Structure 1
Amino acid sequence: MAGRARWVFGIWLIALVALGAAAPSVFSSLAGAGWQANGSESVQVRELAEEHFGGNSSAAVQVVVHSDAAPLDDPAVQRVLDDATALLTADPRFGEVIAPQPGMSISPDGHTGILIAGADASSDDMVKAVDDVKDELTALSGDGVEVYPTGASALWSDFNKANHDAMIQAEMMSWPVTLAIMVLAFGSLVAAGLPLLLTMAGLIASAGGLVLLNSVTPISVWAMNFAMMFALALGIDYALFIVARFRDALRRTGDPRAAVAETMDTAGKAVVLSGLTVLVSLSAVLLVPAPAVRTMAVGIMLAVTFVLAATLTLLPAVLGTLGSKVNAGSLPYAKRQQHRSPRFAAWGALLDRHPWPFAIGSLLVLVALSVPVLGLKVAMPSIQVVPADAPVRQGYELVQSAMGVGAPGMLQIVTPAAAAEASATVAAATEGIAAVTPPVPAGDGSGLVMLQAIPTVDPSDEAMGSILTQLRSDLPEQALVGGAPAENLDLQQALNDYLPLIIGVILILGFVLLLVALQAPLIAVLGTGVSLLSTGAAFGVAKLIFQDGHGAELLGFTPQGFLNGWGPVFFFAMIFAIAMDYTVFLLSTAKEHYERTGDPKIAHIDGLAHSGRVILAAAAVMVAVFFTFALSDPLPPKEMGIILGVAVLLDAVLVRLVLLPTLLRLTGHAAWWSPAWLRRVLPRISFSHG
């Protein structure tokens, strides 16, 4: 790469121009829905509703019209309803527009009605349709009449906007903090800027790549949000490791190309292994049959792939071109800085002298923090995750106050006409159902009818799961139950069902990668095990904060009493990937010294001395990036930022800088031992140079 720098720069320039042209449209192009369990009963009901009932499915848009002073039949309110109907009818993405119906979508006092605009497009396109018309709909409010679009499509529209705004704000806040940490870590303005340039290249490429991929298959807008965060965090991680090693090699050799070669032969291998570990961990999430969850993983994997490619091609070309200029703009203390940190060497020696107290102490803290996981509850997010002034939430709460707490979460029952009466009788007799609307026949002669069952509880109430289960159990066999609450519950069930499989796949693949790279079964088991321990501790802290509400007032949120449903599956993969990232940095450095000396003491002390500062700096950057999300108003990015930030903090401080080095000390030569038959089977990988 260093010898062909012009070719590398040219190819990257072409790629960034091509992908960068598509990148600006990333947030407007990507899909806004996809939170469903493909193949579930609730998705079948949505498809039937869209095919046979004018699009009156969970993706339909509900426009709430309310007046304190006038009933719905007042001419002024009727004009607003007519204007809303005309607006919705003009957009081909909306299907049949159903006026408010007595006994179904008009409140008992006659002052609140729901205009239903059917879905005549995919759920993703319905979210975009709401994006386009919600301002015009809310602008119809006036003269004592209030208009609010609500329903699942409107929820995701407001939810995605709030999260996007929070993500951008957090990213903008994290960049200056990140640059400051980089300058402190490197002591050089040029060296500190390289990780950020690398990250920018990865971000532009992944944004454009996601837009192009979205033209083939819908990609969730959340994919870019997570990709931005991971590209920044991992791009800086990898660049730190490479640049630190390059500066050390350059100081010794004085030859930029030789220094690049040595760097990529040692630290470069560790970066490849780390990137593969991250990709493997996230690939397990693709098993979940939920488009939004899958494509979030795809977004991060795409960002990691581009960042990894830039680290292995663009960065060495830049370093070879810069040579000693990489130290330009150095601060005074940087001239005294060594790659082998005397402070971390002293810390390693302390752990070597007293391994048991430190090992037991760190282990006790991690286990204690992991214990709360046993009481962790998960559920799909409630309406509280969108800001209180969001139109969807105002409409939702207005429907609840006018029509009952369960009115925004009607369950849809689709059944053959012959079973309609029996279905209505069973649904009305089901505990937790307040009322059942009259059967509405399909207008296409299919012989199907739809009933709506109004629950007695809020759609996010824990009791909703029992109500849905009872309904499905008691209704005639031909009857199917769906609706927005059912879709959430079916998705949650799918996430719960796939969680053990995903954890197993991630642990096995993580172990195999470490085994191949380190050629030592014991240290591969220990490296995988301690990563699992730090992941458990992070979820324990998450339970205390987001479920139990400890620190909620300080962090500025109202606890829902549970962790958002995608958390265990998605955050487990992300946390484990990050934890293994640091594991690779530490163990690959330790193995390099063990290969060179054959002395396990030198291996764990020098491994810490050469990688400790990089791990600490990389962790500081990640914690800063993640914790900026804790300042956002919407709960999901706050939840994500705190969980990931705590995970990195615990992992870097307690695991990589305390527990894992002490385990290396206690296991000695056994940590690096490998049976002869295994060495013959595995490909030969060495982390030492020359």
Structure 2
Amino acid sequence: MNSTLPPLEEIAMIRFITGAGRRHPIAVLVVWLLITVAGFTLGNAVFARMTTTVGTVPGSEAQRGAEALGDAKLAPPVITAVVSGPPASTPAFRTAVEAAVTDLRVIPGVVAVSEPFGPTAPAAPDGRAVVLDVELEHQGDLLANRVADRIRDIGDTAGVTVAVSGGPLTDAEFNEQATSDTRRAEIISAPLLLILLLIVFGSLLAAGMPLLIAMVGVGGTFTALLGLSFVTDVSIYAIQVTTMLAIGLGVDYALLMVSRFREERATVEDFDEALRRATERAGRTIVFSGLTVAVSLASLLVFEDPFLRSIGLAGAAVVVIDMLAAITLLPALLRLFGRRIKPVRRVQGRAVPSPWWHAACSARPCWSRSPSWPGSWCWPCRPPAPAWTPATRSRCRPAARPVNWPTRWPSTSRTWVGRAP
């Protein structure tokens, strides 16, 4: 019985999916563009639909505690505001606060409003801050926002600052923080990724493709989370986890395919054949990796904790989106712009990596095949280290005696050797 995997040519699914991107690059590009635009526009509504509480495990101690609190019929939700500024005896300050209290008491759904002034009213020792407690009938967002907006209007008075929190506003603050954190992560990570990819590829076009796949993954993440929020509760913390996965896997998969394409271009003269080999072979690895990660994350669904289920479901959806983008959008981009991407250099008829730190070696390359020196480095041409100085650069030209040095290259038939004097 032959237990070996079928040859690549027999894997029709990979060939069909990657071939669609190669045959119809414009159509594939338009589809993913629409998905990304929808994700960054309509998908932003997901932040308002996410929740900080996704329930408790049935039969758990936490659920019994929540039921006990519900049976106790605790006080209704309360919004608390601290109004600070000039002394409370200032006429303008006192008038603004009292007008707000009057308006709050006539809002439908407001049960009671505390008295901000008086001998029993809570106030700062110096008299420059007062506290307002507003009791609500329910946890509705509309009511809470209306009350909070009216209290914040007190801040229009010169020198007065207002801080409002509590009740349903707490969830809104969590959502706002998650939104700002996600945007900050995207703003910071995008330039850093571009710099690192430029170092790896040495080409703006090749470096931009992994970054583009990462951005498509983030846009698809928002769309997937928005769709999931209509069928189940999605934790607000899922946005950070899924965004991290979208960026990381998008760059990882794109790096794999673009690197494979550059290698194939160095060994295959025909552009179409090099593109087919790269997309099908790298696509097979990407599909296997993506399905493995997606199934692993989906295993969180077996737990009864709603929070873990939320993370597992959202994470699996994001991995599938990144995987599909890598095996459809990347072949389309390589079809359109692949001729401008330089292949890796060739040494002795073989396509080999060209590390950027090799630029100092102006004579023949240090990379060659030498079974007698498995896993060895030419010491001056080893990867960058603090000892890499202009003095060691000059040693690369006349070359030095090779020194055994462990490498991270998996093949023992590829070695670093010194040049003959």
TM-score, length of structure 1 as denominator length: 0.41
1:25 aligns to 2:45 (yes or no): no
1:248 aligns to 2:263 (yes or no): yes
* Residue in structure 1 matching 2:67, options 44, 54, 70: 44
Counterparts in 2 of 1:100 and 1:268: CA distance versus 1, 3 Å? same
> Partner residue of 2:169?
154
Paired residues for 1:518-667 under 5 Å: 605-606=410-411
1:278 aligns to 2:293 (yes or no): yes
Most deviating of 195-204 and 301-310: 195-204
* 2-structure distance, mates of 1:188, 1:164: 33
Shift of 1:149: 2.3
* Residue in structure 2 matching 1:306, options 288, 298, 321: 321
Aligned to 2:135, what secondary structure does the other structure show? strand
Deviations along 1:234-270, whole A, 9 cap, x unmatched? 1111111111111111211123343234334543333
- Whose Rg is larger? 2
Deviations along 1:165-207, whole A, 9 cap, x unmatched? 2331231122122112112211222211211222233232332
* Residue in structure 1 matching 2:131, options 107, 112, 116: 112
* 1-structure distance, mates of 2:332, 2:96: 69
Q: Is this contact kept in 2: 1:213–1:219, CA < 8 A?
A: yes
Most deviating of 7-16 and 250-259: 7-16
User: Once superposed, what is the RMSD of the aligned Cα atoms?
Assistant: 4.4
Give, as a single letter, the amino acid of the residue that structure 2 aligns with 1:172.
I
Paired residues for 1:181-220 under 5 Å: 181-220=196-235
Give, as a single letter, the amino acid of the residue that structure 1 aligns with 2:213.
L
> Partner residue of 2:151?
137
> Partner residue of 1:69?
88
> Partner residue of 2:252?
237
Counterparts in 2 of 1:608 and 1:137: CA distance versus 1, 3 Å? farther
Deviations along 1:606-652, whole A, 9 cap, x unmatched? 29979xxxxxxxxxxxxxxxxxxxxxxxxxxxxxxxxxxxxxxxxxx
Give, as a single letter, the amino acid of the residue that structure 1 aligns with 2:131.
T
Counterparts in 2 of 1:217 and 1:254: CA distance versus 1, 3 Å? same
Percent identical residues: 25
* 2-structure distance, mates of 1:20, 1:132: 32
Give, as a single letter, the amino acid of the residue that structure 2 aligns with 1:34.
T
Q: Is this contact kept in 1: 2:265–2:274, CA < 8 A?
A: yes
Q: Is this contact kept in 1: 2:246–2:318, CA < 8 A?
A: yes
* 2-structure distance, mates of 1:159, 1:317: 39
* Residue in structure 2 matching 1:81, options 91, 94, 101: 101
Counterparts in 2 of 1:242 and 1:75: CA distance versus 1, 3 Å? closer
Counterparts in 2 of 1:9 and 1:208: CA distance versus 1, 3 Å? farther
Shift of 1:309: 0.4
Q: Is this contact kept in 2: 1:279–1:301, CA < 8 A?
A: yes
Counterparts in 2 of 1:161 and 1:109: CA distance versus 1, 3 Å? closer
TM-score, length of structure 2 as denominator length: 0.63
Aligned to 1:217, what secondary structure does the other structure show? coil
Shift of 1:297: 4.1
Give, as a single letter, the amino acid of the residue that structure 1 aligns with 2:100.
V
Shift of 1:106: 5.8
Shift of 1:271: 1.9
* 2-structure distance, mates of 1:183, 1:246: 17
Q: Is this contact kept in 2: 1:2–1:260, CA < 8 A?
A: no
Give, as a single letter, the amino acid of the residue that structure 1 aligns with 2:187.
M
Q: Is this contact kept in 2: 1:37–1:43, CA < 8 A?
A: no
Counterparts in 2 of 1:66 and 1:235: CA distance versus 1, 3 Å? closer
* Residue in structure 1 matching 2:186, options 147, 165, 171: 171
Paired residues for 1:61-460 under 5 Å: 61-65=78-82, 69=88, 77-86=97-106, 89=107, 95-100=109-114, 107=122, 112-121=131-140, 126=141, 134-141=148-155, 142=157, 147-151=162-166, 153-287=168-302, 289=304, 291=306, 294-327=309-342, 335=345, 340-341=352-353
Q: Is this contact kept in 1: 2:294–2:316, CA < 8 A?
A: yes
Deviations along 1:251-299, whole A, 9 cap, x unmatched? 1112334323433454333322322332234334445555555434433
Q: Unpaired segments of 5 or more residues in structure 2?
A: 1-16, 356-365, 377-406, 416-421
Aligned to 1:300, what secondary structure does the other structure show? helix
Shift of 1:302: 2.5
Shift of 1:155: 3.0
Give, as a single letter, the amino acid of the residue that structure 2 aligns with 1:82.
T
* 2-structure distance, mates of 1:209, 1:607: 44
* 1-structure distance, mates of 2:18, 2:124: 76
Q: Is this contact kept in 2: 1:206–1:227, CA < 8 A?
A: yes
Give, as a single letter, the amino acid of the residue that structure 1 aligns with 2:229.
N
* 1-structure distance, mates of 2:95, 2:335: 76
Aligned to 2:243, what secondary structure does the other structure show? helix
Aligned to 2:410, what secondary structure does the other structure show? helix
Counterparts in 2 of 1:29 and 1:314: CA distance versus 1, 3 Å? closer
Deviations along 1:77-135, whole A, 9 cap, x unmatched? 4432232344xx35xxxx55333399xx96499953422224344xxxx4x86567645
